[in-house]
Amino acid sequence: MRTLLWKEWLEQRRSYRLLAAVIVLAIAGILGPLTAKYLPQMLASMADLPEGLAAMLPAADISMAIGEYSDNLVEFGALLALLLPMAAVVGEKVQGTAALSLSKPISRLSYVGAKFAVQSLTLLLAVVAASAIGYLYVGVLFGWLDPLAFAAANSMYWVYLTVLLSLTILASTLARSTVASAGMAFGALIALGILGSIPAISAYLPSALLAWGRALALGLPAEPAWAALAVSIGLSLAAVTGAWQALRRQEL
């Protein structure tokens, strides 16, 4: 298992996927506070702005900054969670490297687990980079937040993104091409979004972690989404288990 983890880690570094993920989410961390601070001012200063519209623009405050930061982090992170691992398994099956790896005395569970673990670590490091730079920009532009609460909020975002990552790895195991893998993973994202819009079950789905995270960051009272956290962890484990079981039944 250690050898597999090291192989996957080297691949993340040598393919620049780790660097790309860190840069993308760091940019997301910068854009949120900057947009909240300066976009209303830029719109208000436009010469052709309709009369009265400037007064309707929301005032820039720390709540808007956290909202923009959270939205950007989740949107960019979801894109990474779909793109980075979409060829994790199917790409190696097509190239024949999966058969070569599994011809050695390693289990298919270790094979899938190593990919999930290292891909999750890549996302974690990218979220850490975004949270560090986002915290700095929010603090300088609006005011300093509780660092522990902000870290807890970002951990909720990471758990949410990890669910998408695990579903993409499952799609990559089931699919016969990278394009099909991407399509299946995107379909799963859409399905989660639709289910999350149903009031009766929304509190139990991963999307509930996003609202909890935003409240944590701002230090606002909010109902803890422990059920959504448990479901998110369960979904990730179920997706990885499903990928393992699917791979067991495939001839490479």
d(CA 162, CA 177): 22
**Residue 56: what pLDDT?**
59
Its pTM stands at: 0.90
**Residue 219: what pLDDT?**
86
Burial class of 67 by CB neighbour count within 10 A (0 to 12, 13 to 18, 19+): middle
Give the contacts of 98 (CB within 8 A, at least 6 positions apart).
89, 92, 111, 252
Burial class of 124 by CB neighbour count within 10 A (0 to 12, 13 to 18, 19+): middle
Is the alpha carbon torsion for 132, 137, 138, 143 positive or negative? Answer: positive
d(CA 134, CA 29): 4
**Residue 71: what pLDDT?**
93
Q: What tens-digit pLDDT sequence spans the chain (252 residues)? A: 777 888 888 888 888 899 999 999 999 999 989 888 877 666 666 656 565 555 556 667 888 889 999 999 999 999 999 988 888 888 877 787 777 777 777 788 888 998 999 999 999 999 999 999 999 999 998 989 999 999 999 999 999 999 999 999 999 888 888 888 888 888 988 988 888 888 889 889 999 999 999 999 998 887 889 999 999 999 999 999 999 898 888 776
Closest to 216 in 3D by CA, of 171, 165, 151, 166: 151
